[in-house]
């Protein structure tokens, strides 16, 4: 069974994990719109495709699925998840499993104000969130919110345009320039990352892995430490079950004075998942089992603790002649 990982970009280590787990079962095929995306040269085969916002993108995916006998497809970036959830029934007519949560769940995760409303409804702690500056000012005058605050796009990813703001003048300017920004309460506490796998067959949580984020870089976890926390295991299991997510999930959490604040949920592999795999939370293996019809048993918290992750640079070099047509969808 061949698997297709789309928008693979720089996720070379994750591709290596899939190659190891799918060896003997099928090929790992990847796509990207950039011929210099390193993942194209790590996988069994890579295809250069149009950008995901190009009207020909869906047709390109269909051609690859048919040509390569793809049995399953999943994306590694947030903006494409809503597309795959929208196209799920159409793609599955090609006898391919689309590993993505339902459309409503994906939209809730991608829309940060919608997520805020969902978390409040579930009774979970989260940063107070405003979609306009007037409602913020009203609470500010009542001392319900204070500076600094955190602003970010309502539908953004990779921490693009996210920043801390210390005064009302700067906040007013930012909100005037960009109508799609959110204002959030600044959470000052220990930052945790949680990697979750929900079985594609049983729809039950199979694995929950927790790491303490020690250092960030460009919105991704750069250095981290594996930890275990039974209370947080239970919170996360209830959360993803209520949201009806499936497959790999990445969740950001703040621990403040022994209380947990849910920050963001990304229904895909997170950039810091690498530590989870190295500690024994093997999501590619779980995916492989599901694709051959096997349910995964619950394995929450069964991994190595107190293990550090340190990301570092590696280099792939290719000559002009090696950027060949095997990577281009004709």
What strands, in cross-sheet order, belong to the sheet with 181-185? Answer: 129-130, 181-185, 149-153, 163-165
> Nearest 5°: CA angle at 44, between 99 and 26?
55
Per-residue pLDDT tens for 243-288? Answer: 999 999 999 999 999 999 999 999 999 999 999 999 999 999 999 9
pLDDT score for 327: 53
Is pLDDT of 324 > 60? no
- DSSP annotation of 133: H
pLDDT tier at 162 (50, 70, 90 boundaries)?
confident
pLDDT score for 320: 85
189 against 159, higher pLDDT: 189
Distance of CA 238 to the CA centre of its chain: 19
Torsion of CA 250, 298, 201, 13, to 10 degrees: 40
Distance of CA 153 to the CA centre of its chain: 16
Is pLDDT of 329 > 60? no
Q: pTM of this prediction?
A: 0.94
The CB density around residue 159, as the number of other CB atoms within 10 Å, is 15
Phi, psi angles (nearest 5°) of residue 68: -100, 0
Question: Beta strand pairing status for 205-217 and 181-185?
Answer: unpaired
- Structural domains of the chain ordered from first start: 2-100 (3.40.50.20), 128-185 (3.30.1490.20), 189-310 (3.30.470.20)
Beta-bridge partners for 73: 4, 98
Whole-angstrom distance, CA of residue 154 vs CA of residue 147 = 20
28 against 320, higher pLDDT: 28
pLDDT score for 323: 83
The CB density around residue 327, as the number of other CB atoms within 10 Å, is 20
pLDDT score for 328: 52
């Amino acid at each position: 069974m061949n698997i297709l990982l789309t928008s693979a970009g720089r996720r070379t280590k994750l591709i290596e994990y899939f190659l190891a787990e799918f060896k003997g079962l099928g090929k790992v095929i990847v796509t990207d719109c950039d011929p210099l995306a390193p993942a194209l040269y790590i996988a069994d085969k890579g295809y250069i495709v149009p950008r995901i916002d190009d009207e020909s993108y869906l047709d390109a995916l269909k051609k690859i699925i048919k040509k390569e006998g793809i049995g399953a497809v999943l994306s590694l970036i947030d903006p494409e998840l809503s597309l795959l959830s929208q196209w799920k029934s159409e793609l599955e007519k090609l006898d391919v499993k689309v590993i993505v949560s339902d459309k409503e769940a994906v939209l809730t995760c991608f829309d940060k104000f919608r997520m805020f409303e969902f978390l409040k409804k579930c009774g979970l702690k989260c940063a107070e969130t405003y979609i306009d500056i007037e409602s913020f000012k009203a609470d500010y005058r009542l001392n319900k919110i204070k500076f600094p605050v955190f602003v970010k796009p309502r539908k953004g990813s990779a921490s693009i345009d996210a920043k801390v703001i210390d005064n009302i003048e700067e906040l007013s300017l930012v909100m005037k320039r960009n109508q799609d920004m959110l204002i959030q309460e600044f959470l000052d506490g220990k930052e945790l990352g949680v990697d979750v796998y929900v079985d594609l067959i049983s729809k039950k949580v199979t694995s929950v892995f927790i790491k303490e984020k020690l250092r960030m870089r460009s919105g991704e976890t750069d250095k981290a430490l594996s930890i275990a926390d039974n209370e947080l295991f239970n919170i996360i299991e209830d959360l993803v079950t209520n949201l009806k997510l499936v497959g790999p999930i990445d969740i950001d959490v703040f621990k403040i004075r022994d209380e947990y604040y849910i920050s963001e949920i990304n229904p895909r592999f997170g950039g810091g998942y690498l530590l989870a795999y190295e500690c024994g939370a093997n999501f590619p293996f779980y995916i492989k089992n599901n694709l051959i019809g096997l349910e995964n048993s619950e394995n929450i918290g069964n991994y190595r603790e107190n293990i550090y992750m340190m990301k570092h640079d590696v280099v792939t070099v290719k000559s002009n002649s090696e950027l060949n047509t095997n990577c281009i969808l004709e």
